[in-house]
Structure 1
Amino acid sequence: MAKQQRVVIVGGGVIGLLTAFNLAAEVGQVTLVDQSAVGQESSWAGGGIVSPLYPWRYNPAVTALAHWSQDFYPQLAGRLFASTGIDPEVHTTGLYWLDLEDEAQALAWAKREGRPLRTVEIAAVNEAVPVLGAGYSRAIYMADVANVRNPRLVKSLKAALQAMPNVTIHEQCEVLGFIREGENICGVNTVQGEMRGDEVVLAAGAWSGELLNSLGLELPVVPVKGQMILYKCEPDFLSCMVLAKGRYAIPRRDGHVLIGSTLEHEGFDKTPTPTALESLKASAIELVPALADAQPAGHWAGLRPGSPEGIPYIGRVAGFGGLWLNCGHYRNGLVLAPASCQLFADLLLGRRPIIDPVPYAPQGRIQGMA
């Protein structure tokens, strides 16, 4: 690709921001457009565990991206902190899974994949995590699992992009549709006018399917609502991430503890509900009984870009010159972002890809609508 190429990226979540970050040094101009403020949807709302919640339950295509990203995150965070002064806070605490039904599968997966997952006596867990609730009998543990403070990651990426002379960010700028000339997509129409580019990248998370509909394409990416709550505790209150019955507690470095998360199919409704609040509080108290005396300091909802098997769409859209996808990461956008965006840049720039791109290719996975 020529150095003077112009790339338009639709969507300013972590996927869109990191796509822009990876391309900026390689192309002439990057224009990033978001309908609200960057990173305010799924990227802001998630927990930031740098691992799929149950990695052994996923398709190998998801695992391949996750492994690459997990190893790369500390390096990415260090680079962003050095250039912006905003620390994304990659916090390596390890993760305990408690009373798993498929523990044998998890251990078999770890052995096959060479991941450091092992069984731990419950007494050792209670010693390592003194605030953990009673009543758990089995545990497995992975020591190198980190969490990233996703709102800080978003701020850091935005600051890094704003410092680049060939990057323009348009916030509060809704995309109305694509500019099409013959077989080619040459840009997007927005509420602020036309924005043209040689390549257009759709990285609009849960909204990606809606936008592709306008081209007669059916992309099976749908919004899946997730609600979370936040507690403010002492910095050393919870030493490690813990996960049981599909719910988790995540400690930040400063003592904030996140509890999540619900999975709800409610369309684009992001309203936090009293029902979810009570359910999350109950999970919090079951995991960490000391939280019974605390009031949540925050409660919010975000919309994940749900996709079949959680396998993202990364690559060129056949039949539409200049149109690319990097979307549909479902519950693992933060986990998969570094690998997804590196793979995407490799494909767009014609470089040798970091991993086999075939499982993520849109071709054969999206349909023309009748």
Structure 2
Amino acid sequence: MNVLVIGAGAIGLQSAFLLAQAGCKVMVIDQSAAGQEASWAGGGIVSPLYPWRYSAAITALAHWSQDYYPGLGEALKQQSGVDPEVHETGLYWLDLEDEDQALAWAHRHSRPLHRVGMEQVHAAVPSLGEGFSSAVYMPGVANVRNPRLLQALRAALAKLPNVTIIEHCPVSGFINDGARVVGVQTAQGEMRAEQVVVAAGAWSGNLLATLGLKLPVKPMKGQMILFKCAEDFLPSMVLAKRRYAIPRRDGHILVGSTLEDVGFDKTPTEDALESLRETAIELLPGLADATVVKHWAGLRPASPEGIPYIGPVPGHEGLWLNCGHFRNGLVLAPASCLLLTDLMLDRSPCIDPKQYAPAGRL
């Protein structure tokens, strides 16, 4: 099968990888360089920020993907020579207002989330600030170094003879043959395929609009900052008041993030920088003496309840969606992309596809 994937982020690249491994001839097109949008800009926590606050649809994809990530990281390292650094640190949530609900959710889903005393937290995370009164902890939660994950996927795809990646090639619309989509119009001319997958993140709604379809996926800006510390400065991820700190293996610490409804504006702002720095110092006072190495913004593909669209577009044969993952694209990518591949190849789906189907949701 000849497949064209629009979007070279974590979703588009993993979709292409699985389809290519299954024997499809795959072309990936992106309007900029591969892996430079939301997938690059995120923090890479392999968990929704507050998993108990999401629907069963998110939980199903998240649990499948969390179990899959360590093996994926190792496989990509072997195939590409780039280590995505799937780093298991565990995660502390501090001063939760819905702690009882979190623990009840963990019990229902057999997830290892439990209360810990603050004395124990400070012993495990000596760099944590004072002023927090309660904590819950989930061991085994990992973060992935998302820029390296994207590099690994790009390199692994480059080694496959049945994959072509075309960058800096905006798509302006679709080519139709009756009720069937048979390709796309691009800045480099027409490109045709038997099947077309839209995995264009925050830009997916604009593409579907060219077919007269209203896909409720829109950009939500998020800003992050990065510090460099000693490698043992922060041994575990910590999250409080909707902000988080994520340690990389080499001592880099990410702190994020904002949530801003400002359209497609990706400009980092001084207000956000100051707010994030204040959060960072409140969580980890030692960061008061650390320099902000980098400050950036990305555009999350927001969708109702954060439930992605995965599956065929009714009335437009040959057109598929894998988009609208909001804040959880990296978390949900492995399961989302396998589900899409299962549906496209008419295999038994890894997860019940009904709750993600575009039918009835466009």
Q: TM-score, normalised by structure 2?
A: 1.00
- Is 1:306 matched with 2:302? yes
Q: What's 2:292 paired with?
A: 296
Q: What's 1:162 paired with?
A: 158
| 1:205-259 CA-partner distances (Å, limit 9, x unpaired) | 0000000000000000000000000000111110000000000000000000000
For residues 54 and 119 of structure 2, the distance between their equivalents in structure 1, rounded to whole angstroms, comes to: 30
For residues 324 and 46 of structure 2, the distance between their equivalents in structure 1, rounded to whole angstroms, comes to: 17
Q: What's 1:20 paired with?
A: 16
For residues 230 and 33 of structure 2, the distance between their equivalents in structure 1, rounded to whole angstroms, comes to: 31
Q: Secondary structure at the match of 2:185?
A: strand
For residues 54 and 101 of structure 2, the distance between their equivalents in structure 1, rounded to whole angstroms, comes to: 12
Counterpart amino acid of 1:89?
A: E
Match of 2:270 among 260, 267, 274: 274
Match of 1:85 among 81, 88, 91: 81
| 1:278-326 CA-partner distances (Å, limit 9, x unpaired) | 0000000000000011110000000000000000000000000100000
Counterpart amino acid of 1:32?
A: V
Q: What's 1:11 paired with?
A: 7
Q: TM-score, normalised by structure 1?
A: 0.97
Counterpart amino acid of 1:351?
A: R
Match of 1:112 among 100, 108, 115: 108
- Is 1:327 matched with 2:323? yes
Q: Is the 8 A contact 1:6 1:27 kept in 2?
A: no
Q: What's 2:136 paired with?
A: 140
Alpha-carbon shift at residue 28 of structure 1 (Å):
3.6
Counterpart amino acid of 1:162?
A: A
Q: Secondary structure at the match of 1:278?
A: helix
For residues 18 and 195 of structure 1, the distance between their equivalents in structure 2, rounded to whole angstroms, comes to: 21
For residues 166 and 131 of structure 1, the distance between their equivalents in structure 2, rounded to whole angstroms, comes to: 49
For residues 213 and 240 of structure 1, the distance between their equivalents in structure 2, rounded to whole angstroms, comes to: 43
- Superposed, 1:242-281 pairs within 5 Å as 242-281=238-277
For residues 332 and 191 of structure 1, the distance between their equivalents in structure 2, rounded to whole angstroms, comes to: 30
Q: What's 1:358 paired with?
A: 354
Q: Secondary structure at the match of 1:157?
A: helix
Alpha-carbon shift at residue 136 of structure 1 (Å):
0.4
CA RMSD for the aligned pairs? 0.5
For residues 67 and 236 of structure 2, the distance between their equivalents in structure 1, rounded to whole angstroms, comes to: 19
Counterpart amino acid of 1:252?
A: R
Q: Secondary structure at the match of 1:319?
A: coil
For residues 268 and 162 of structure 1, the distance between their equivalents in structure 2, rounded to whole angstroms, comes to: 30
- Superposed, 1:38-117 pairs within 5 Å as 38-117=34-113
- Is 1:208 matched with 2:169? no
Alpha-carbon shift at residue 25 of structure 1 (Å):
2.1
Moved over 4 A (4+): none
Alpha-carbon shift at residue 29 of structure 1 (Å):
1.1
Q: Secondary structure at the match of 1:52?
A: coil
| 1:26-79 CA-partner distances (Å, limit 9, x unpaired) | 234100000000110000000000000000000110000000000000111111
Q: What's 2:224 paired with?
A: 228
For residues 7 and 347 of structure 2, the distance between their equivalents in structure 1, rounded to whole angstroms, comes to: 24
For residues 225 and 166 of structure 1, the distance between their equivalents in structure 2, rounded to whole angstroms, comes to: 35
| 1:135-176 CA-partner distances (Å, limit 9, x unpaired) | 001000000100000000000000000000110000000001
For residues 83 and 18 of structure 2, the distance between their equivalents in structure 1, rounded to whole angstroms, comes to: 19
Q: What's 2:312 paired with?
A: 316
Q: What's 2:215 paired with?
A: 219
- Is 1:184 matched with 2:180? yes
Q: What's 1:343 paired with?
A: 339
Counterpart amino acid of 2:189?
A: G
% identical aligned pairs: 67
Q: Secondary structure at the match of 2:48?
A: coil
Q: Secondary structure at the match of 1:217?
A: coil
- For structure 2, the 5+ residue unaligned runs are none
Alpha-carbon shift at residue 87 of structure 1 (Å):
0.3
Counterpart amino acid of 1:17?
A: L
Q: Secondary structure at the match of 2:292?
A: coil
For residues 259 and 172 of structure 2, the distance between their equivalents in structure 1, rounded to whole angstroms, comes to: 29
Report how many aligned residue pairs link the two structures: 362
Q: Is the 8 A contact 1:119 1:139 kept in 2?
A: yes
- For structure 1, the 5+ residue unaligned runs are none
Q: Secondary structure at the match of 1:297?
A: strand
Q: What's 2:281 paired with?
A: 285
For residues 152 and 35 of structure 2, the distance between their equivalents in structure 1, rounded to whole angstroms, comes to: 11
